[in-house]
Structure 1
Amino acid sequence: MTRFTRLLALPLLLIGAYSSAATSSTTSNASAEPVLNRISYTSQADQKERDFFVYLPEGYATQPDKEWPVMLFLHGNGERGNGKEDLGYVLIHGPLYEAWIQKKDLPFIIVSPQLHMFGMDKRGISYIDNRSPSQIPQRLEQGTPPRAPYFATPQPMTGVPSQVDMSLIPPLLPEGWDKVEEDLLHILDTVQNNFRTDKSRLYLTGMSYGGFGTWWFASQHPTLFAAIAPVVGWGHPSYIAPIAKHQIPVWQFAGGRDHTVPIQYFYPGLNRLEQLGHTHVRFTTHEDMGHDAWRRVYGSDDFYQWLLSHRR
């Protein structure tokens, strides 16, 4: 049985029991302030209880007749965890960081699950092994914390080859988000059934591993999303046909100095979209940035305005 709990201020503190009635009605003293909820579920991947975040934007509680757009965010490899005491790591980057930590006024219900480790913590990956709860950002009562600096030493630009050898494109899935497909569908159903959502405006975005996951999940469920925005994660050509068939608007982002996810891998999938007649494709390369181009993307305004311009 799915269990609901509410997080009101601190990202790792559970207090009280969640009631769907609390979000479907307002009282005279309802606050217009945003709220960060923490909801429990049982993962189909390992039959263990985990939590995910649901951010309710400013004005949600005081506008009982409004239906809100929903953004599903898939984090990168470094933010994996057990979905409990590790859940705060998903606050480090992305739209939830912007909305909850930096207090950016984003008019979305933001859904942010945490991907299982699936053995990544056994592989000697430094940015997983060396991370610490002290890195989890905290929302301040007054003001906002300083932003972390961009990657200190940008990689040299490599240029884009005119031809890409398809045989050199890495294997299909990035070992992760595909293993929790049923969890993601359950999480979306939970949010749409228990909060006031606009089902015609469900958006999907993710960074790095979550960018790969964005392409993959959209290809498996192309009728769900009004638009997708994969950030520094390419789409394999084998994912493309369902996305093109359903004409899902796509805004792909890359970093020109990114040596983690080389830019030449982005073109085969994007070109395949155009070959299949997809007419709603944008590709933006931040030439001066490396793999952390996501910081600029999610910190901008035009990114969110573009999402909101689309309905399913």
Structure 2
Amino acid sequence: MRFISTFFLSGLLATGSATADSETARAEPQLKRISYNSTADNKARDFYLYLPREYETDSERSWPVIVFLHGNGERGNGKDELDYVLIHGPVYEAWIQKNDLPFIIISPQLHMFDMDKRGISYIDNRTRSQIPQRLEDGTPPRDPYFATPQAMTGMPEHKDMSNVPPMLPEGWDKVETDLLNIISTVQTNYRTDKNRLYLTGMSYGGFGAWWLASKHPELFAAIAPVVGWGHPSYIAPIAKHQIPIWQFAGGRDQTVPAQYFYPALNRLEQLGHPNVRFTIHEDMGHDAWRRVYRSEDFYRWLLDQSR
């Protein structure tokens, strides 16, 4: 994936300027830690902010923004544990794998909220050795996909969602004010295109993306939840604002089965929503996010959407 050839180089060719070519050669992406005070616990925390190649040299450009909400295993204190959010998602692709994504990317960290006291193995047993490092030359090898021994079988829709909780416990809804403040801070202090604010998240973050879009549908140009379904109770505001949606699931996902994704998506269409996509990676399990976030089609689709 080399977005620079498609999105950046076309602009350089239009100028035909040797000076512009020289400046672009020096342009490098940046990964910043931005401090804030959390309203959830009144403690200082940081979030990651990725600035794309050419952000500093192209001072006239306003950039589209991706807000990424990570999964349950990447929680932390927003300080020395913040690096866990680099393990997956768009910042991993842009910063670690050095794919030239033409976005500003916001990557906050969800508080632990005592999840480390519940005997969750992938939280209790995680180590800093799992955090990928950006190499001076080249890129690190990608981790293999999770083993998925289950057979590929289509699943019928789960019909009755009335007894299914709309949100996972201790989720992104507990930091709503933080998320809004972070988005506002970035839009105020950096050159962003407010009509191209995109929201995505994986697993816990996928649930969080549905929830945040339903609460603040006027903010987002598109949402792309990955292996996290939306609840039908969230749908009316999203349908009213007709936010373009691309939902992803894993066909072999035993953690968040595909049958739970259909009720909300079907409800959107019943309410007249014209722009609903649903992709099931039938051969993959819960880690379908690995394929989604490395896909060039994913980022092209986002760029096609504007509020």
TM-score by length of 1: 0.89
Contact 1:154/1:289, CA 8 A, preserved across alignment: no
Match among 209, 212, 215 for residue 217 of structure 1 = 212
2:167 aligned partner: 173
Deviation digits for residues 136-188 of structure 1 (CA, Å, limit 9, x no counterpart)? 000000000000000024433343125623345x3011121000000000000
Q: Measured at CA, do residues 73 and 154 of structure 1 come closer, stay the same or move farther in structure 2, by a change above 3 Å?
A: farther
CA shift, 1:57, in A, is: 0.4
Q: Which has the higher helix share?
A: 2
- Equivalences for residues 1-312 of structure 1 within 5 A: 31-161=26-156, 164-167=159-162, 170-175=164-169, 176-312=171-307
**Cα shift readout 1:177-235 (whole Å, capped 9, x = no counterpart):** 00000000000011011111011100000000000000000000000000000000000
The number of residues matched between the two structures is: 284
5+ residue gaps, structure 2: 1-22
Distance in 2 of aligned mates of 1:162 and 1:100: 38
* Overall identity of the aligned pairs, in %: 76
1:89-132 per-residue CA deviation (whole Å, 9 max, x = no partner) reads 00000000000000011000000000001111100000000000
SS of residue in 1 equivalent to 2:283: coil
CA distance in 2, matches of 1:194, 1:31: 23
Task: Give, in whole Å, the separation in 1 of the partners of 2:188 and 2:143.
Answer: 36
- 1:255-302 Cα offsets, whole Å, 9 max, x none, are 000000011000000011011110110000000000000000000000
Amino acid paired to 1:173: M
Code of the residue aligned with 2:141 in structure 1: it is P
Q: Output the amino acid matched with 1:261.
A: V
Counterpart contact for 2:158–2:263, Cα < 8 Å: no
Q: How far apart, in 2, do the equivalents of 1:85 and 1:31 lie?
A: 30
Residues 271, 227 of structure 1: alpha-carbon distance in 2 compared, 3 angstrom cutoff = same
* Cα root mean square deviation, aligned: 1.4
SS of aligned partner of 2:41: coil
Determine if contact 1:30/1:62 at 8 Å carries over to the other structure: no
Q: What is the TM-score of this pair, normalised by structure 2?
A: 0.90
Task: Provide the C-alpha distance between the structure 2 equivalents of 1:76 and 1:289, rounded to a whole number of angstroms.
Answer: 17
Which sections of structure 1, spanning at least 5 residues, go unmatched?
1-27
